[in-house]
Structure formats: structure tokens, C-alpha cells
Copies of this chain bind each other. A is one copy, B any other.
Amino acid sequence: MNLKQLSEHLGLSQTTVSRALNGYPEVSEKTRQKVMKAAREANYQPNTRARSLATGRAMAIGHVIPVSTQHEMVNPIFGDFVAGAGEVYSARGYDMLLSLVPDRDEEAFYRDLRIKGNVDGIVVHGPRMADPRIGLLDELGLPFVVHGRASEVTAGYNYVDVSNVRAMREATTHLTDLGHRRIGLINGLETLDFGNRRRRGFLEALEHAGLTANPAWMTSDDMTEAYGFDAANAMLSGAEQPTALVVSSMITALGVRRAVEARGLILGRDISVVTFDDDLSYLRNGTDAEPVFTAARSSVREAGRRVADILMARIDAPLAPPRTEMIPYRFMIGATSGPAPDG
């Protein structure tokens, strides 16, 4: 059933039916009711592509996940982020177009996305410090929101981020306050903006406590479980060992725990661990009242919602000044951190 058939069936013109359905004031309430009823009964839905062609709006948002050609990993936060964003899209009638793009093809990919016209806006994932995508998208005139930030980009742009520096500073300070003086950092990729900021927060806290960082105790990599295990193992088998570790993700922290327990050490007593926690649905950090890991928690799902909200607003008002928003985090004290052991 298409519009033509529906209008013939009703004995009205396509114009009137279309207007009735789309809530235009030119059609009488009586007619509208009749049309709506018929549409419902016939199970009529306008063809998206035809409508898009006519209106010039794709009613779709593109999520471009950069896939490093070497690493080939899909960040586990992705599912929850997308779930958050999806809630907003479906409430607004938008579709979500997902593309995993090898990083070297990225520029061409964005260009084509614009030209082929299959999205009205884009969510930028995994920004780097001086991410060229921001300039490119601005130039293309394609509305976008960045999940995270690109600290070295000076131009204004829409983004939603969490206070990585502050969160990591607070996490680290928690440890220095407990008397820890030998603290390691098991960080995510520092080529990415968030990794860099987290490192900064970590270093600031050390400095504030009058400590100097030990380069052997700072690592950076994809935040897998195995990486947490390996990195913690390496640090714990050196001549001198840290008494506390700051970790950049829950999954990595699970690997750290595995390493710690494999050595027969007790978390929170022999060695303290504080982690960043994205509040993934399958990996909740205990309960609110009783977190397992001491952690800075910030909901990535909420981030997805906020990113989508801002993108929708931006699409509706393309000339509005850029909006930025910080997702709050909450620092929660669990059982994995405790006073520094003597010596």
C-alpha cells in the first residue's frame, strides 16, 4: 500500500492524505481523522527512501567506528553507548547507520557519506588528540558530535566527554591519601585523547603529592583483559614493585585482578587497585552500595544518550553555537583499595 493507493482508496488526493498524515493545518480535523484511520487499517507507512528524497533529510545518523587495521578490535563500551544513543534516535524517528571503517579509509568514507546523502549527522568515536576528522566534517558541513574530545583542536565543535583528567586525579589522589607512594598506571591507548587525559590526571595527582612517576610503571595499550594481566604481572615482577595501580577500564582491571591473585596477593591489602568504570551492562561493578572495585564510574550509556540529544538539536539548528557537555562521574570506594602496606 503506497500513498497513491491509499489516497485513491479514500477518494482524496495524495496531497491531502500526505498533509493529513504529517499534521499540516490545511486539512480539516474530520478529514484527518478519516485519513489516519484508513492509514492505520491499511497498515500504511510512507516509504522512507521516497520521503527522504523528497524532503532532503535522510532521517538517519551515522556512527563511524574506526577500526585500526592492526588491532581489529571492537571496544566493548560500544554496545552500551549505541544502546543509549539508539533510545534517543528511535524516539525521534531516526535510524542508526553503523559503519566500521579501516582507519586509513576514513577521510574518503566521511566524504562519501556526505555526498551519498545517507545520513543527516555523524557521531565521531575514538577521537585522537589532533583529530583531523573534526576539521573535515566542519568543512563538509555535516553535523556531528564527538564522543570524547580532541584536545589539540582549537576550533569549536560539539562534544560530550567525561572529566578524564579530574577522574583520574581523584582516583590517584585517593591512593596517595592512603599513603601509597609507588603507584603504577595501566592506561588505554594514549594516542587517543581520553588515554592522554587520563595519564595527565594521573601525573598531576602524583606531582601534587610530591611523587615522581616511574616510567616502568606506566603502560598504554588496547584495554583488554589480557593486557591488564600482562601489564600488572610485569610491574609486579620487577625489582621494585608498585603498591597500587590505577587502571583505565573494568575489563583491564579484571586482568589485573587475575595477575594479583595468581601471585597470591590480596587486593586492597597487599596491593590496591582503582579503576575507571564505564558502567557496562554486562560488567557492573558490584552494587551501588557495595562496589567491588574502587572506581570512578561514568555511564557510557548516558553518554550515548547525550551525544544523540545534542546531535538531534544540531541537526534541527545547524547554525547554533557548538554545545559541549560533561557526563558526571562518581567516585566509589570499593574493597580493592586500602592503606599502603608498610615499606
Which residues of A approach B to under 8 Å, CB–CB? 1, 43-50, 52-53, 58, 60, 63, 67, 72-76, 78-80, 82-83, 86-87, 90, 95-101, 111-112, 115-118, 222-226, 251, 254, 257-258, 261, 280-284, 286, 292
Contacts and interface: CB of A to CB of B under 8 A. Distances in A.
A96 B95 contact: no
B100 A86 contact: yes
B47 A116 contact: yes
A82 B81 CA distance: 14
Contacts of A95: 97, 99, 118
Contacts of A98: 63, 82, 86, 96-98
A326 to B, nearest CB: 24
Contacts of A48: 116-118
Given A76-B76, A82-B98, A86-B98, 15 more contacts: A1-B115, A44-B115, A45-B115, A47-B115, A49-B58, A63-B98, A74-B79, A76-B282, A95-B97, A97-B97, A224-B282, A224-B283, A225-B284, A251-B283, A258-B292
B82 A282 contact: no
B83 A225 contact: no
Contacts of A49: 49, 52-53, 58, 117-118
Contact of A258 (B97, B100, B101, B257): B257
Contacts of A112: 45
Q: How many copies does the complex hold?
A: 2
A100 to B, nearest CB: 4
A125 to B, nearest CB: 12
Contacts of A283: 76, 224-225, 251
- Pairs A-B, 3 closest by C-beta atoms: A74-B79, A73-B281, A86-B100
A269 to B, nearest CB: 13
User: Looking at A72, A76, A99, which has the most chain B CB atoms within 10 Å of its CB?
Assistant: A76
Contacts of A44: 115
Nearest to A86: B100
A35 to B, nearest CB: 17
A335 to B, nearest CB: 10
11 contacts: A49-B53, A49-B118, A50-B53, A53-B53, A75-B282, A76-B76, A90-B99, A95-B97, A95-B99, A223-B282, A224-B282
Contact of A79 (B52, B75, B99, B258): B75
Given A47-B117, A50-B53, A118-B95, A226 B286 contact: yes
A46 B251 contact: no
Contact of A282 (B73, B97, B292): B73
A258 B261 CA distance: 10
Nearest to A77: B79
A283 B76 CA distance: 9
Contact of A97 (B73, B83, B96): B96
A49 B51 CA distance: 9
